[in-house]
Each structure stands twice: as structure tokens, then as C-alpha cells.
């Protein structure tokens, strides 16, 4: 049960400095033991447009940005006009009285105007510092915490800049103490300090924990944060990082690195994945393990570069022509991204195939708190049946010479002994053409149908055992629930909170979240869904991509659907209201849209 649960919304134009106050708030809250979830709705503009950052904090776990704003900090008139009407009793709006007009405000909303020009000493970009200091004073945070945060953030700009920002913050803090009343809740001092990270940072850290030593990428939002984190830590960690000219080169580079025995990965978005797909097929054909992360955004084409979507499922299912084994996983949140990466690398090494990760902007660029104790870099690393240059062998197929080594040996499991280049007595050809067990191309002289059948079946046979290594999905929540919400990937968190809201209204609901997409636990899912009274599939795309995939794998057709494709993530009340409407028989397809233009 949460006793403290509030959300702060900060809005303005791109270039007004929204990120810095968000960073200050997030770190202060987390270091006082509060859990948090932050989402930044922004446009693909360097200057202008509308940016709105929501930071929700609580003394209990939070899985989404929530439904309400308790404190609104509009840095321009546009933000005031868009968001003021959504404030309810007990909320507060904190704004510059000299440049922003208030507008109609609901009864019970605390209005807190600031003489910004005076407090900021005329520095336009200092308005956010004044506002944050005033807000934190009203939240009961001591000034020392603000000073420490400003010192940390501006230290690289020198002592003079730090001193200026601290002085301006003090002006806002003291003014709020003298003129404004406190909120009805205060930020507590927790015993346990939490850390803060984004999903892209968690993805990179997960790759580091997995032993990645080669990373290549082409910058493409919203995946660029993975590249930035890898590049900033590459020298200290001994990781080779390359920004390549395009995604075609990226995928060929990481396959080449993986072929030599490196653990190699990349991250991109849907457009970049489209360019990588032919080379992904090469990874499958030469049985070289790599990991590719798709941080999904709105499509098609350039689509919505800075908005979220779950629209790449079928693209990933069909990535690369022909049939070849691959493992596809959709982590649910930032911590799950971190822990999934080492697990996936072990699986791709074991089964010698590509591993694909379906992330998205919501969790990739979203900020969340994490307990540092949950970040384990001492993960088990399993390289599978690899033969190393020192002669050691982790598989039962050692002792080869050049005339007997079969890189693509047709084994009962479909997994062949894999020697990295440089192992004496283990020379072979790695070709994208179909080949025999000893890597001889079967189409050089004539195509041998029997060998082709054998090799296709050998590669496919590897996938038969993968399910045994994957955690099967399970129902979360009440037994014998009135409704079961089926989800995949990042929608799990907001559905958990919608289930809480439904319970408050007397409706029992549970959730079946599917994390491992390929291979698919078809038998388990079929058995679970057969027990459910009413099933509604929730996803962030137009066509119901997962609903179609579920039907193709199990034959199951849901009773209802909730889909969102306006570029913004679900809020809990979107799902709550849709479930109520569908239980009442009003509709079988609900398409909620954000109430405001963000």
C-alpha cells in the first residue's frame, strides 16, 4: 500500500531545459528512498514544439506515470493552456506570473505565482531552477539536498556556474517558504537509497554484464542512449564501440565480430532493423550468435521518431528471408531489460542463433528507480559448445583435424561444435550459401535436395529444446478473475496499476504477460487461457499484432481488444475504462486516445 504517491509535470518548448529539473527531481526522490517512474513526451525538434515530462514518485513500487498531475510547472503559456484543466483539488500550479497567464482553474487547486524575473536575476534558463527549488520547498525537502544536486550537475561547468545556480535556487526556495503553503504530503526520508536509470542504460549495462566486447550501431532514436552509454564506458571496460555509416554495415560488423568469438550486440529502431534483416539471415545461416535490440517507435517509415509503439512484432518475426532459428524476447521494464541481456546471450551462444529484443521508447527512454542490490554484474556466462584457440573444449566434439572437423555437424540436438577462427585443425568456410556439414557449398556443382533438407531440419531442430530454458508465462493477480488482460512487453506495468483501479471498483482482473515471443509456450498459454472467463488483449499498435500472433500459434481468439496507436503510452485509466465498457457490452475494441495533445 502506497502512503505517498504524487506526480510532477514540467512542460515547455524544446530548448527550455526540461531535462535538468527532471534529473534533479529524480535523483533527490530516489536518494530519499522513493520509487519513481518518469516519462518524457517530446517532439522531434531541437527548438520549439511541446515537451512534457512527468515524474511520479511513491513509497511503493510504481509501474507507470499514472493518471494525474499533482504539481504542474509550466515554463511557457502553451503548457499552461494544455495541462491546467487536468488539475484537480489538492493539486498545485507553479508558474512565472510575469510571462504566463493563469486561465481557468478548478476549485481546490493551489495557485503559486512566482516573480521569475526577479528571482532568476533575468536569466531565462534559470526559470526551471527557481521553479524546482520552490516546488521542493513545498514538498518539505531541505535546501541542502537541492544544493548537492546542483553541485553534481553543474560541477563540470565550474564553481562560478554552480554558485550562480545555487544562489538562484535559494531565491526560489525562500520565496516559496514565505509565500506558499506546503502540500498535503511531504517527501519522506527513506532508509534505503535507490538508483535511477533509463531502459537504454539498463540495456547497455546488461550487455556489459553479459560480457559484450564489441558494440556497433548507427544512431537512431530512441535507441541512441544504448550507444551513448557504451561509448562513454568503452575505454574503461575494454569494449570496442563503433558508430557505423549505416545499419547494413552495423549488422555485418557485429556478425563478423561474433564470428571471431566476441560477444557482439547492437541496438536500433524499426527503420534500422529493416536494413539489418538480410544480414540477420546470414547470422542464422552460418549459425553465429548475435544480439540485436529494437527500441520501437511509431511507424511506418520515419513515422514518429520520438513516440512509442509496439508496432515491430511482425517485422521481427519475419526478419530475414527463409526459415531460420531465432530467439525473440520482449522485456517488461528497465530492470527486466538488464537481467534479460545476459540470459539471452547465453541462449544465443548455446543455440548458435541470433537473439532479438523488443524494447520500445516507453521503457528505453523512460526513467525508473532501481535498488542497486538488484544490479548484478557477476552473471554466469555460458558460451555453449565452443572450441577455443588454447585447445580447451567445452563440448564432446573435440579432437578434430582439418579433414574431420564438421562445423555444421548434423547432431541429434542440431547444435554443432563451434570453433572460433585460429583453432588449429579446425578450418572451415562460413558461407551464406547453403552448405554441407563440412561447410562445402551444395550449390557450387549441383544442389543436393537431401542435403538441403538435412541442413534446414538440423538448424530448426535447435529450437526444440529452447523452451525448456525459458520461464513460462503465468497468470498474475486474482484467481477466477472476471477478466484476464493479455499483454506483451512494456504494457505489463500499466496493466498492473489498472488492475488495482478495477479492484477498487469491485472488478477482479488478472494479467497474462508474454515475455518470450519466439519460441512460444503455446501449450502453456492455451491451457491458461482456457481457464479464463473473459480475455482482453492489450497492446500499443493498430492492427493487433500480438492478437494475430497468438491466434496463429494457438488458434485462440480473444473476447476483446484494447489498442492504442496515438504515439503515447497507456495510462491506467485508459485500460480501466475500456475494461468496464467491454464488460458492460458496449464494445469489443477500445481505442483510447490521450486527452491532451502532448
Report DSSP letters for 61-88, one per residue: ---S--S--SEEEESSHHHHHHHGGG--
Mean pLDDT of all residues in 390-409: 64
pLDDT for residue 396: 42
pLDDT tens per residue, range 83-142 = 999 999 999 999 999 999 999 999 999 999 999 999 998 787 788 999 999 999 999 999
CATH of the domain at 12: 3.40.920.10
161/275 same-domain check: no
Mean pLDDT of all residues in 250-276: 97
The helix (run of H) or strand (run of E) holding residue 236 is helix 224-237
Query: Is the per-residue pLDDT at 390 higher than 90?
Result: no
pLDDT tens per residue, range 26-68 = 999 999 999 999 999 988 877 778 999 999 999 999 999 999 9
244/218 same-domain check: yes
Asked if residue 395 is part of any domain, the answer here is: no
How many CA atoms does the CB half-sphere of 571 hold within 13 Å?
A: 19
Mean pLDDT of all residues in 280-298: 97
pLDDT tens per residue, range 521-531 = 999 999 999 99
What are the grid coordinates assigned to 228, written together?
A: 551513448
Asked if residue 34 is part of any domain, the answer here is: yes
Alpha carbons 393 and 419: distance in angstroms, whole number: 9
Output the CA torsion sign for 403, 407, 410, 412.
Answer: positive
Asked if residue 488 is part of any domain, the answer here is: yes
Alpha carbons 70 and 92: distance in angstroms, whole number: 6
241/358 same-domain check: yes
479/340 same-domain check: no
163/206 same-domain check: no
pLDDT for residue 448: 84
Q: Would you place residue 400 in the very low, low, confident or very high pLDDT band (cuts 50, 70, 90)?
A: low
CATH of the domain at 223: 3.40.50.970
pLDDT tens per residue, range 312-330 = 999 999 999 999 999 999 9
150/299 same-domain check: no
From residue 259, how far is each of 247, 401, 555 by CA, in Å?
18, 20, 39
Asked if residue 407 is part of any domain, the answer here is: no
215/242 same-domain check: yes
Task: Write down the pTM of the prediction.
Answer: 0.95
For residues 566 and 593, the answer to whether their CB atoms sit within 8 Å is yes
Percent of the chain with pLDDT over 70: 96
167/220 same-domain check: no
252/135 same-domain check: no
Query: Is the per-residue pLDDT at 397 higher than 60?
Result: no
Q: Could you give the 3-state DSSP secondary structure of residue 498?
A: helix
pLDDT mean across residues, the chain: 94
Asked if residue 393 is part of any domain, the answer here is: no
Q: Would you place residue 404 in the very low, low, confident or very high pLDDT band (cuts 50, 70, 90)?
A: confident
CATH of the domain at 572: 3.40.50.920
Alpha carbons 249 and 571: distance in angstroms, whole number: 38
165/275 same-domain check: no
Rg of the chain in Å (alpha carbons) = 26
Q: Which residue has the cell 537431401?
A: 450
From residue 456, how far is each of 95, 461, 479 by CA, in Å?
65, 9, 43
For residues 546 and 513, the answer to whether their CB atoms sit within 8 Å is no
Asked if residue 414 is part of any domain, the answer here is: no
154/289 same-domain check: no
Query: Is the per-residue pLDDT at 445 higher than 80?
Result: no
Asked if residue 537 is part of any domain, the answer here is: yes
What are the grid coordinates assigned to 38, written together?
A: 518518469
Asked if residue 432 is part of any domain, the answer here is: no
Phi, psi at 596, each rounded to 5°: -125, 160
How many CA atoms does the CB half-sphere of 69 hold within 13 Å?
A: 26
- Say if strands 509-514 and 475-477 run parallel, antiparallel, or are unpaired: antiparallel
Give the domain-ending residue among 316, 349, 374.
374
Q: Which residues contact residue 224 at a Cβ distance below 8 angstroms, ignoring those fewer than 6 apart?
A: 200, 217
Give the domain-ending residue among 340, 374, 408.
374
pLDDT for residue 64: 96
pLDDT for residue 394: 47
pLDDT tens per residue, range 321-364 = 999 999 999 999 999 999 999 999 999 999 999 999 999 999 99
255/166 same-domain check: no
pLDDT for residue 596: 65
- Domain range for 107 is 5-179
For residues 492 and 514, the answer to whether their CB atoms sit within 8 Å is no
Give the domain-ending residue among 145, 179, 213.
179
Alpha carbons 117 and 136: distance in angstroms, whole number: 20
| Number of domains forming the structure of the chain | 3
Amino acid at each position: 500500500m502506497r502512503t505517498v504517491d504524487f506526480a510532477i509535470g514540467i512542460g515547455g518548448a524544446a530548448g527550455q531545459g526540461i531535462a535538468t529539473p527532471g534529473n534533479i527531481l529524480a535523483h533527490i526522490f530516489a536518494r530519499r528512498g522513493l520509487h519513481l517512474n518518469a516519462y518524457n513526451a517530446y517532439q522531434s525538434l531541437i527548438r520549439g514544439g511541446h515537451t512534457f515530462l512527468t515524474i511520479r514518485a511513491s513509497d511503493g513500487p510504481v509501474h507507470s506515470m499514472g493518471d494525474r498531475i499533482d504539481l504542474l510547472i509550466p515554463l511557457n503559456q502553451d503548457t499552461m493552456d494544455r495541462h491546467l484543466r487536468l488539475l484537480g483539488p489538492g493539486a498545485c500550479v507553479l508558474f512565472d506570473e510575469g510571462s504566463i497567464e493563469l486561465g481557468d482553474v478548478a476549485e481546490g487547486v493551489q495557485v503559486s505565482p512566482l516573480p521569475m524575473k526577479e528571482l532568476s536575476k533575468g536569466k531565462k534558463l534559470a526559470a526551471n531552477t527557481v521553479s524546482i527549488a520552490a516546488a521542493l520547498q513545498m514538498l518539505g525537502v531541505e535546501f541542502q539536498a537541492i544544493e548537492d544536486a546542483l553541485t553534481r550537475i553543474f560541477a563540470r561547468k565550474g564553481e562560478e556556474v554552480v554558485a550562480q545556480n545555487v544562489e538562484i535556487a535559494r531565491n526560489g526556495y525562500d520565496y516559496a517558504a514565505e509565500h506558499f503553503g506546503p502540500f498535503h504530503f511531504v517527501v519522506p526520508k527513506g532508509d534505503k537509497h535507490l538508483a535511477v536509470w533509463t531502459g537504454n542504460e539498463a540495456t547497455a549495462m546488461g550487455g556489459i554484464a553479459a560480457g559484450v566486447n564489441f558494440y556497433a550501431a548507427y544512431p537512431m532514436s530512441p535507441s541512441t542512449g544504448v550507444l551513448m552509454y557504451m561509448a562513454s564506458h568503452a575505454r574503461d571496460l575494454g569494449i570496442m564501440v563503433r558508430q557505423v555509416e549505416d545499419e547494413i554495415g552495423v549488422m555485418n560488423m557485429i556478425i563478423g565480430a561474433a564470428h571471431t568469438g566476441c560477444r557482439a550486440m547492437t541496438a536500433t529502431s524499426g527503420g534500422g532493423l529493416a536494413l539489418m534483416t538480410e544480414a540477420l539471415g546470414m547470422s542464422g545461416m552460418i549459425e553465429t550468435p548475435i544480439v540485436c535490440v529494437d527500441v520501437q517507435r511509431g511507424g511506418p517509415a520515419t513515422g514518429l521518431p520520438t513516440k512509442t509503439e509496439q508496432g515491430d512484432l511482425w517485422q521481427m518475426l519475419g526478419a530475414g528471408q527463409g526459415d531460420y532459428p531465432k530467439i525473440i524476447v520482449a522485456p517488461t521494464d528497465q530492470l527486466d531489460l538488464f537481467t534479460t541481456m545476459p540470459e539471452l546471450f547465453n541462449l544465443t551462444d548455446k543455440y548458435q542463433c541470433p537473439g532479438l529484443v523488443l524494447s520500445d521508447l516507453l521503457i528505453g527512454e523512460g526513467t525508473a528507480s532501481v535498488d542497486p542490490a538488484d544490479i548484478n554484474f557477476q552473471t554466469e556466462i555460458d558460451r555453449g559448445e565452443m572450441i577455443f584457440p588454447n585447445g580447451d573444449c567445452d563440448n564432446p566434439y573435440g579432437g578434430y583435424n582439418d579433414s574431420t572437423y564438421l562445423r555444421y555437424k548434423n547432431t541429434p540436438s542440431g547444435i554443432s561444435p563451434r570453433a572460433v577462427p585460429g583453432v588449429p585443425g579446425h578450418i572451415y568456410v562460413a558461407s551464406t550459401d547453403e552448405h554441407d556439414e563440412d561447410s562445402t557449398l551444395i550449390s557450387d556443382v549441383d544442389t543436393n535436395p537431401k542435403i538441403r533438407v538435412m541442413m534446414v531440419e538440423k538448424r530448426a531442430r535447435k529450437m526444440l529444446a529452447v523452451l525448456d530454458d525459458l520461464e513460462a508465462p503465468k497468470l498474475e493477480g486474482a484467481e477466477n478473475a472476471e477478466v484476464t488482460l493479455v499483454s506483451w512487453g512494456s504494457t505489463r506495468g500499466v496493466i498492473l496499476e489498472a488492475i488495482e483501479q478495477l479492484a477498487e471498483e469491485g472488478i477482479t482482473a488478472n494479467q497474462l504477460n508474454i515475455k518470450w515471443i519466439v519460441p512460444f509456450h503455446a501449450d502453456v498459454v492455451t491451457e491458461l487461457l482456457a481457464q479464463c472467463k473473459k480475455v482482453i488483449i492489450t497492446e500499443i499498435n493498430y492492427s493487433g499484432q500480438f492478437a494475430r500472433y497468438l491466434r496463429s500459434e494457438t488458434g485462440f481468439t480473444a473476447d476483446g481488444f484494447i489498442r492504442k496507436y496515438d504515439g503515447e503510452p497507456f495510462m491506467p485509466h485508459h485500460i480501466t475504462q475500456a475494461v468496464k465498457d467491454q464488460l458492460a457490452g458496449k464494445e469489443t475494441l477500445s481505442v483510447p486516445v490521450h486527452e491532451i495533445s502532448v
